[in-house]
Structure 1
Amino acid sequence: MPIAIVSIPVADQDRAKAFYTDVMGFAVPRDDPMGPQSRWIQLQPPGGGASITLVNWFDAMPPGCQQGLMLGVADVDAEHARLAKLGMVVTAISAEAWGRYTMLSDPDGNRWVVATLSAG
């Protein structure tokens, strides 16, 4: 069974939504009220795959605790340049047997890997 949705813990759902849509290019298939203090904000990365939801209701998931989620891109060099041009702090591109990658953090400190995977 495929992974459908991954929870991303954030402090401010609006700030996080702006980052994921404006910087990362995610689409917003859902943004619905969920109780007095939260919304169900579901975001879809460009090209599809599992979506994310911006959560602020899990005590065991403080903002910024999500680490190492990977986004696959066709050209990590181009994506690195695009993100840097937007003012994002991205690591130098590194290479491993599984692919080439850079890393960045969202406004809450959730850490992402952006990679072009090698054929395996």
Structure 2
Amino acid sequence: MNWTLEVVVVPVSDVDRAKAFYADQLGFVVDHDTAIGGLGRIVQLTPPGSSCSIVFGAGVVPEMPPGSLKGLQLVVPDLRKAHLELVERGVEVSDVQVLGENPGPVPDPLDNVGFVFFSDPDGNSWAVQQISSRA
């Protein structure tokens, strides 16, 4: 049986501000932005190429303190390009960092060990790791 992770709830304080950050600055695709029968609103976005989405909203998602989600991780094949794209989109992102050592030869020294870090406007933190190929 396959077990797939499809949605992660991201706690935010301002739905419109979060939607603008994730859609306009990060380039996530807006899957839907829906009012739920007068009860609240739910917004779902998906990173390009991902099969897992994020969701946030008002009144219909589990209550968590805004900014309390830490350590979500995106994976890209080219960290330098991803870093440049984030900077060009106005995201406050760390410099490229190398964390650890590769156990063997890799096509690019950033593979597996190259990271950048950023936070959304509420303080939910994200990492971006380079993995250009998997064993």
Fold-level match, TM-score > 0.5?
yes
User: Could you say which structure has the larger radius of gyration?
Assistant: 2
Using the size of structure 1 for normalisation, the TM-score is 0.88
Give unpaired runs (5+ residues) of structure 2: 102-111
Using the size of structure 2 for normalisation, the TM-score is 0.79
Deviations 1:31-90 (A, max 9, x none): 11125463111111111221010144533x111001110011111111111212233211
RMSD of equivalent CA atoms = 1.8
Residues 40-55 of structure 1 mapped to structure 2, 5 A cutoff = 40-55=42-57
Give unpaired runs (5+ residues) of structure 1: none
| Structure with the higher fraction of residues in strand conformation | 1
- Once residues 80 and 62 of structure 2 are traced to their aligned partners in structure 1, the CA distance between those partners, rounded to angstroms, is 35
Q: Match for residue 95 of structure 1?
A: 98
- Once residues 101 and 41 of structure 1 are traced to their aligned partners in structure 2, the CA distance between those partners, rounded to angstroms, is 28
Equivalent pairs counted in the alignment come to 119
Q: Match for residue 58 of structure 1?
A: 62
Q: Match for residue 114 of structure 1?
A: 128
**Does the 8 Å contact 2:23/2:29 carry over to 1?**
yes
Deviates more, 1:29-38 or 1:85-94: 29-38
Residues 28-47 of structure 1 mapped to structure 2, 5 A cutoff = 28-34=30-36, 36=38, 38-47=40-49
- Helix, strand or coil at the partner of 1:39: strand
Structure 1 11/37 Cα, relative in aligned 2: closer, same or farther at 3 Å? farther
